[in-house]
A = this chain, B = another copy of it.
Amino acid sequence: MTKTLRSRSHGHFQGTWILLLSLFLVPLAYASGGGNADHFANLFLWIAVLLIMAKISSLVEKIGQPAVLGELVLGVILGNLALVGIGVFDPIKADGIILFLAELGVVVLLFQIGLESHIEEMKKVGVRAFMVAIVGVVVPFGLGYVAGMWLMPGMDTNSYLFLGATLTATSVGITGRVFRDLNKLQTREAQIVLGAAVIDDVMGLIILAVVSAIVTTGVVSTGDISLITTKAILFLVGALFLGQLLAPYIGQFFSRIHTGVGMKFTIAISFCLIFAYLAHFVGLAPIVGAFAAGLMLKPVYFSRFDEPQIQVPIERAIEKADEHTKCEVKRVLDKHTEHHIDRLIEPLGHFLVPLFFVVTGMQVNLETLFDPKILGIALVITAVAFIGKLVAGIVAGPVNKYIVGWGMAPRGEVGLIFAMIGKQLGVISEELFSVVIIMVILTTLLTPPILNYLLRREDKRANQKA
């Protein structure tokens, strides 16, 4: 508490510093250009600037908000400075290397969330997660279809179909990050949302295939649909069961080559990347693969590898201590060893994850908010989007249904992908596209503070009961 107060008194001072820092760094990044070496060196500076700014934006924590909100808002600001004539950040938005690092960032984030989740806990909430996913697909789809017909009459039926499909998406990245920022990943609510989001991704894949088939050929080929479904389910089953079966042997095999920290890290990150690739290969989002990879990697598979570097020196230091101390220290060291993979991946997360959220924020085009008619329609569609997922929360069982419902709400990049495909197929008009984008922006930006409020209220209640 004292920390918060002390920090607040420095608020003005910090604001000035941020400005000075930006004034100093931005012209530097702007100064050179052309050539691979120049491009790479500029990116070094840009990455440093974005990372520092992202960390400064974590000041939102002082007003009780999750850090991810700060990064998203920072991104929205940087990405729209061109509206007031500052175009210096625009090249970053479209830079292939930055976009890759951002994508790698969300893959690493879901891998971390997978590592911190327990597959047994996930299984316990499996049925509930499945129900939440089903309702969270059916209700937004139906509501979106009807709301589309009501608000924008006279369009092709396929357009309403696609609008409905767009509303079914769930972007687990945002919610997962909020749960993680607030240290709530282990709650039943978080586990249900994570499970439902994975199932949602599979269902979204099927819906996209069905809707696309209706639009392009007018008929739905059951063969195609069942092939897509089979591939996705086979991947998930294969990843979770075969992966768990094989992972110990992979650990065993590589420990024969080397048992150092580097090997442990390499196996973990390669596991993550290969499953991200495989998920994309069967048509799922790479983050679903990364999450599955994190779920199936357990510390026990790495038992043949070297312990964290502190283990041996500490054990040597307590050799002459009493039994009680030895026992206590052993408990701490065991816990430290158990989470060693998480800690090895963490720095990579610190490097890449903020880039994802800042870049995601940068993709938001505030100009779409300027047309009052579109904005009005979009606000209703956004309300429909929230209601659809809140209804899904009702079937989540004996947990805080609001947390589950709001947790499912952000559409993020998944909703955008749906809209983009619809635009390519010619069923989503410019106007409808703007509506969808505003809906995605609002569900993405409003969820962190609301979820934050709900989680803290839940904490308070639990404290009052105890």
Contact = CB atoms under 8 A, between A and B. Distances in A.
A218 to B, nearest CB: 26
Q: Which 6 residue pairs are nearest across A and B when measured between Cβ atoms? A: A41-B280, A317-B328, A48-B270, A48-B273, A45-B277, A321-B325
A277 B322 contact: no
A332 interface: yes
Given A55-B258, A276-B41, A348-B348, A318 B318 contact: yes
A210 interface: no
Interface string A259-276: 001110111011101101
A276 B46 CA distance: 12
A34 interface: no
A440 interface: no
A216 interface: no
Interface in A422-457: none
Contacts of A257: 7, 14, 55-56, 58-59
Interface stretch (A98-106, A126-134, A157-165): A98-106
Contacts of A41: 276-277, 280-281, 286
Given A56-B257, A96-B97, A350-B265, A281 B31 contact: yes
Contacts of A270: 48, 51-52
Contacts of A42: 277
Contacts of A314: 314, 329, 332
A347 interface: yes
A17 interface: yes
Nearest to A107: B44
B51 A253 contact: no
Contacts of A258: 55, 58, 61
Given A10-B256, A321-B318, A310 B336 contact: yes
A44 B273 contact: yes
Contact of A7 (B256, B316, B345, B346): B256
B55 A14 contact: no
Interface in A138-162: none
Interface string A93-130: 00011011001100100000000000000000000000
